[in-house]
Structure formats: C-alpha cells, structure tokens
Structure 1
Amino acid sequence: MDFQSLWAATAPAAPELPQLTESLRTDVLVIGGGFQGLSTALHLAEAGTQVVLLEAEMPGAGASGRNGGQVIPGLKDDPDGLDRLWGPQATEFAGATADTLFAVVDRLGIDCDAVRGGWIQAGNKAVHLSGLRSRMAQWQARGAPVEWLDAAAMEKATGSRAFHGGWIDRRAGKIHPLKLAQGLAKAAETIGVKVYARSPVTGLARNGSGWRAQLAGGVQVDAARVVLASNVYTPPRLDRKLARATVPANSFQIATAPLTPEQLARILPNGVVASEVRRVGTYFRIGPENRLMIGGRGSFSDPRRAADFSRIETELTRLFGAGFRIERRWFGRVGMTPDHRIRLCEPAPGLLAATGFNGRGVALSVALGKAIADYLARGTPLPIPTVASIPALPFHGLHPIYGSLGIHYFRLRDFLDR
C-alpha cells in the first residue's frame, strides 16, 4: 500500500538538488537534511562558515517531513524541573523554541502555511487536571501567554466533549513540515551552503585533527568539524552508540476528506493544534485542504495495510464522532528516550550530535540547530549541556518487543487513572 503523506501530496515538487560525485573539503560537514541539520547549516552559513550538508535521500524525507506539523515550545520536563536539571538557561531556551522557528520563517519568507494559533494540551480525566494546571502556572510565572480552559471551553475550542479541561499556550502554532524543510534547504543554498541529496555517508572517521566522511564510489568530504543531525535515522556505521541511544517508535497519522463548512465551524475553529496528556495519547489539527488530521503511537512494525491504522481511526471516532472518510494514511519514526529527554553529545573533538526529540522535534530541532551554529561559529555556550558519551540502550535490537510491551503497559495505566 502507498502510504503517501498529506504533506507530500500538497507540497511542491522536491527541489532539484545535486548528488555529491566528487570529493570536497569544508569547515563544517552537516550530516542529515532534516530540520536540525538544515537549521544548523543555514545559521552557520549566515555566520560566515563554509558548510556542506549531505542528505541520504531528500530534505525532509525522514521525520521532519512526515510529522504532525505542531510547533510546540518547551520540553517534556516542566519549567521548574528543567531549572533543576539543566539550569534556567535551558528553560529559557526551551520556552523560546517556537519563537525561534516562527522568526526564521518570517525573516526568510518561507512559505510553509505557518499559523500561530496556539496549542492545547488536553486532559481526558479529572486526575490529569492538577498536573496540567501546575505546568501552565509554571510557564505563566515565566511570562508565557497561557490560559486555563475548563470542560466547556475545551469543547468550544476543540469540538470534542472528551476533555475535562486543559490549557492553551499561545506561543505555539502549526506549519506544513515538508514545505518548511524544502524552504530551509532553498534558503541554505541561497546563502552558500552546498546541499547534496541522495548522498548517504557510508563511513565517518578521524582524519588528523579533523574528520573524513566516506561516500559511495570513493567520494570523500574532509571537514574540521561534523554535526551528526540524523537523529533516530542514524545508521550504526556512523556512530553505533548514537544509533542505539533511542527507540525508533512509529507514529501513525491519518487525514480525513476535506471537512464541510459546518464541521470546520465546530472542530478546532480557531486554528489551534492539540494533543492529549495521556501517556499514549493522540495529537490532532486541521491540515491542508481543510482536512482533519490525527496521529498517535502505532505498532513498532511498519504498517502494510489500511487496517493497521484502525486504532487511530477509533481514536478519531472517540473524539469527534463517526462518519469521517479517511483519505490519507502514513507514518514516520520518532526518536524516544527512556526519560523523554533529548541527548546532546560531543563523543569526540569536533563531532557534535543530538538525538531523541521525543515528539517535540519541530520547534526544538530548528532552535537547537541555531544554537549549535552559534556554538560552532561564535563559541556561544549551548543551552543544553553536552555529554561525552551516550550509553546504548540495553538489548536495543529487541526494541519492537519491549517497546510494544511498554505501550500496552502505559495504555493500561491510562485506563486505570482515576
């Protein structure tokens, strides 16, 4: 079955990008053409650094072009917890990630259907509300434009009666992720980044005081520094520990036929995006062509047929009722870590990598790319501390088994919450 995403169906044709066929030397090599890699390369070039970016397929081919397009600030830790964990500078950075993304889009004039309509985090049960109120209050104390929504306000804002309450963060919004990836690639090329597609790196090793990336056919790229921005798509041949540091969880998404004017007036009428606070919840928004989109955790094996999306379709009915025709189904990988925290590491001099965005990758990866560029080009301290090594998850090859067991366990806990 062809699981073409709604994004691929509504984006312009992929830009014409060359394949690297001859060896090069550069100041910084960026491996990976998702949001993180493109943002890093773009901001490095703006700082006057010579940059080469290598993408194994096309920009946005991975998670960056397949996600829900929700621009959500913050990390999974609440602000007070982030202050204790990594310091106030990390909390300030996390709270501004959506600001950073929308500023880049506005400054460069990227056409990616950007709408800053806010994000709602929804509580399905009364037991969820105290935690949501606390999270909202912590951001409110830091000046964020947030507001509490009771059950009636939630129904009005979402069009669903499934929620007891929640909060809205007006820093947030939505974009067309594949258009954003294409726009970042075009902007990077325009200011001098050498962007190559269909150019997978087959090996990476020290070369004197710098690094050498190997490609097919004996092609090499020598660089003083390397940013490994391939996240959960990192092949073991490039960094075995990094490749085994996250669980590649599938996120399944569906999109309905275009909604009627009556449905649009009821469901998410103000352009907000939303997600549930449940451990295994859903996220939803209105997407291109006025289609209702909903996504959530799928199986750890790739889907083969439409029936494999039945759980997400059941969630759609639970939230908004029956009668929607599903016209698009697709999936992509999300890099998850056991503590739901990003990993930023410098495993060797001149090599920097980040992985495990845990469902916050849209805003976070663009903002982190800028921070990495500032660090490499200007020596600006990184907002999140780095580690020298990331321990590989034990029995990583068995992640489809223990990941599936974990999802069943968390679904049971969601069910038992009172």
Structure 2
Amino acid sequence: MNLLYSNDQRGAYPASWYAATAHELPPFPALEGEARADVCVVGAGYTGLSAALHLAEAGLSVVLLEAQRVGFGASGRNGGQLGSGQRVEQDGLESLVGPDEAKTYWTLAEDAKDLVKGLVAKHGIDCDLKPGVAWAGSSKGDVRHLHDYAALLQTRYGYDQIEALDAEAFHALCPSPDYRGGVVDWGAGHLHPLNFALGLARAARDAGVRIFENTEVLQIDEGHPARLTCPAGSVTADHVVLACNGYLGGLNGKVAARVMPINNFIAATEPLGDEAAKVLTKDIAVADSRFVVNYFRLSADKRLLFGGGESYGYRFPADIAATVRKPMCEIYPHLRDVRIDYAWGGTLAITMKRLPYLARVAPNILSASGYSGHGVGTATHAGQLMALAIRGEAEGFDTMSRLPNTPFPGGPALRNPLLVLAMTWFSLRDRLGI
C-alpha cells in the first residue's frame, strides 16, 4: 500500500486546523526533465527542509523532491511539541549506552531545541512558538516516576528548567480529574507545526534550494553520482538525503526494516472561549504517561487540540473525530458534547527502541527517520547533522547513528501484526491502570 495516497488527496493538505490557519505558500512546480545537483533531498518535512536549507546556506546546489506538498506528512500534522531529551528517557538511555554516551545524547537533544528556536528567530518564522510542556501522571506510581525523573535531570544533568508538581499544583495548571500530578518542562515548547514547516520551506527557497512538489521518487539508482527517477524526469546528484520517515515505501530496504509507519489522530474542538480555563490555565502543551499517549494544548483561538486514539492498519478510521473524542472525554468529561470542527490523521514512524534511525545506507546516501513521536526537534536537527556530514563534519551524525536500532522481527511483512499485539496489550494496561 502506498501511504502517500492511501489516506489523502493528491497534492492537497488534509482538512486540519493547521491547514486552515497556515500562512499560505504558493505551490512549487513538479519536476519535468533532467536536473543536476550536488545533493538531492527526498522528502520536504522537517528533516528534508532543514538538510536542504543548511546545505544551500553552505553553498551547495540542492534539489528537494516532495511527492505531495511541503510539510504534507507528519511535519504538518503533529501535536507541535518541542520536547527535551530523546524519545527514550535518560535513565533508559544510560542502561542502553552507558552514562557518558547518554549525556552526549542529552546535549545533542538540547542542541535540537536550540536549533528550532534559532531557526524561528533567524528566519522570522511565524509559528506561535511558546515555552512549556507538562507531563501528566494518572496514577500515584506515574507521578512518582515523573518526579524521580525530574530530580534525575536536575541533579545528574544540571537541567534546572523542569518543575515537579503535586496534585493540587498540577490541577491548578491542568484541571483534569484524571491527573494526580506531574512535571512542567519550561525549556521545552510548542508551536504551529505546519507553519514551522512552511517557514523552513521559504527559507530554503530563498537560500537557493530548487523545490519540486507532486514529484514522487520512484527509484534510486545508487552510484557516483546517484540517479533518482520520477514520473516526468530525473535528478542526478553526488549525494542523496532520504528524509521520508513514514512515507519511505520501498526506496530503501535497510531503512524499511527498522522504521515502521503508524498513524495518529488529532481533533480540534470549537473555540472554547472562557471555558478554555477549565482545560488549561496557562498556554502550555501537555502529554500524559499512558503508553498510548494523549497530548494536547490550546490553539491561539482557544480550541482544544487533542491528540490520541488507536488505529491498527495503515488506513485511517472512517470517523476520526469519534476515535479522538473517546480519550479526550476520559481526560475532560465535561467536553463530552463539545463540537469538533476538525479531525485529521497523520502517518509518523517508529523504531523498535523508539530511538531515531540515522544511517549511511550507501557511501553517498544518508537517511534519518523513525522519530517515534519526538520529531519536531529531532528531525530538524537530523537534517542539519546530515548537511554537516555531507560537508565532511560527521561527528554529530556518526554519534546519532550509533544509537541502537534493530530490525523489526520478520521485517516489513510482520512488523504491523506485531505492533497490533503490542499496542493492544499496552492499551489494556492503560485502561486497567497497571
């Protein structure tokens, strides 16, 4: 199944609140004929846009190919949370790679946050970037874990921007009856994800990147140079950057064995007006401690943007609003009858260990993907690291490529059934409070 078109209209953004409030960018043409470049980037999400921008700013000629529209995939549909650290918590990383290496990955993650904030400032990207992400616990054990983790970051990593909250303090911030406490990370942030992507695209265009939309890459012939075949043309390039994430398809088997596409869903309610204070009392984002994570924040016009719900298989459910309303009402029962104005799905990608997969899949082909729901900062940073590696400064890329990533058992054929089993089990644990 081609995920580029299975759930979405060709050449059009989904009917999301993000698309409805995007700062419109005129379409780029489709590729026709032959093109030559120093670097060809495949995929115009955060990874590809960042790689293309940084390469062009360094003086290389860059062609960027996007099968749909700029920011069409997860980059333009996600929860907009710019989180700290890697997707795996630091104590988990310490167990995987040792304490010294774990500190290196913490530093790289801090660089990722700084990069996003710096790009927004440098290029004047209007994407409503705001500070603050809270993590909520639904049980005493969850809260204890979050408080212990905050203490670990404060003492072992010197991170002083995280604050532990008991039940009363957390309810003053997020008055949901489901949560019993949590933490707030004031060094993290949230933004309008599609407007961030469109801002990167404008910056890349202005830096000289040749961007082609509605141009699917059908085949990559490896070599020096490589050749990328598209429906109405081709690109010959000395280097290739694969920035496809959940939409890679069959372009590279090594990546496909380790990176699996999955779907997630978001709904935007009607504007809540003064009732918004019953959802959040400050302009922060929230994620909770469930395995099937709920994540939410208020929009600029006081809508609740709520992400959650489960779906197995690659097709979106027929009624996305109903899929999201169920977990939303578990968190906020008083919103049971609120109108939902927008509901949309998106395809992201995960790895076995929920760590990003960066790899040199051929001598002149780099790939980065598998951000596992932590892509706003990590993907943008991965693009910069690939650009640096192509220029001969590969330390950051090589460090990220050392993260442990194993293939899914059985490869692409069995990875989805195994995911269904795992998600069913963990979602049952969430419901039972285990």
Specify the TM-score bucket, using the shorter chain as the normaliser: over 0.9
Residue 149 (structure 2) pairs with residue 135 (structure 1): yes
Q: What is the 5 A alignment of 1:234-313? A: 234-236=248-250, 238-261=251-274, 263-301=275-313, 302-306=315-319, 308-313=320-325
Percent of aligned positions that are identical: 34
The reply on whether 1:150 has 2:166 as its aligned counterpart is yes
The answer for the alignment partner of 1:32 in structure 2 is 43
Asked whether the 8 Å contact 1:154–1:160 carries over to 2, the reply is no
| Greater mean deviation of Cα atoms: 46-55 or 293-302 | 293-302
Q: What is the aligned counterpart of 1:105 among 91, 98, 120? A: 120
Aligned partner of 1:381 in structure 2 is 395
Work out whether residues 101 and 366 of structure 1, in 8 Å CA contact, stay in contact via their aligned partners in 2.
Answer: yes
SS in 2 for 1:187: helix
**Which runs of 5 or more structure 2 residues have no equivalent in the other structure?**
1-6, 9-13
Counterpart residue number, 1:411 = 427
Count of aligned pairs between the two proteins: 412
Partner of 2:54: 43
Counterpart check, 1:65 vs 2:76: yes
Distance 1:81 1:398, change over 3 A: closer
CA distance in 2, matches of 1:415, 1:388: 31
User: In the TM superposition, what is the alpha-carbon distance from 1:162 to its structure 2 partner?
Assistant: 1.4
Indicate if the aligned counterparts of 1:346 and 1:389 stay in contact, CA closer than 8 A.
no
State the Cα distance separating 1:393 from its structure 2 match: 4.3
Deviation at 1:26, TM superposition (A): 1.2
1:77 to 85, 88, 100: 88
- Match in the other structure for 1:186: 202
Counterpart of 1:200, as a letter, is E
Quickly say closer, same or farther: Cα 1:227–1:392, change in 2 above 3 A: farther
Q: Deviations over 1:78-110 (max 9, x none)?
A: 224435645132221113322221111011101
Deviations 1:330-371 (A, max 9, x none): 101121122111111112101111121010011111122122
Change beyond 3 A, Cα 1:361–1:300:
same
Match of 2:4? none
1:12 aligns with 2:12: no
Match of 1:172 in 2: 188
Among 220, 231, 248, which residue is 2:234 paired with?
Answer: 220
Partner of 1:89: 104
* Contact 2:51–2:387 under 8 Å retained in 1: yes
Deviation larger for 144-153 or 8-17 = 8-17
Whole-Å Cα distance in 2 between the matches of residues 137 and 128 of structure 1? 14
| Aligned-residue CA RMSD (Å) | 2.2
Check the 8 A contact 2:348/2:373 in 1, yes or no: yes
Q: Report the Cα distance in structure 1 between the residues aligned to 2:421 and 2:404, rounded to whole angstroms.
A: 31
Bigger mean CA offset, 395-404 vs 264-273: 395-404
Task: Give me the TM-score of the superposition, normalised by structure 2.
Answer: 0.89
Q: 1:80 to 1:281 in 2, by over 3 A?
A: closer
Contact 1:26 1:52 in 2 (8 A): yes
The residue that corresponds to 2:339 in the other structure is 325
**Residue in 1 that maps onto 2:366:** 352
Q: Distance in 2 between matches of 1:203 and 1:275?
A: 39
Amino acid at match of 1:381: E
Q: CA deviation at 1:36?
A: 0.6
Q: Which amino acid aligns with 1:169?
A: D
Deviation at 1:324, TM superposition (A): 1.6
Alignment partners' CA distance in 1, 2:381 and 2:34: 31
1:210-229 deviation digits (Å, cap 9, x = unpaired) = 21111123x22111111100
Counterpart residue identity of residue 329, structure 2: T
Within-5 A mapping of 1:333-348: 333-348=347-362
Is the 2:128–2:191 contact (alpha carbons within 8 Å) kept by the matching residues of 1?
yes
What SS does the corresponding residue of 2:381 show, helix, strand or coil? helix
1:153 and 1:388 mapped to 2: Cα distance? 38
- Structure 1 residue 190, shift from structure 2 partner: 0.2
| Residue ranges of structure 1 left out of the alignment (5+ in a row) | none
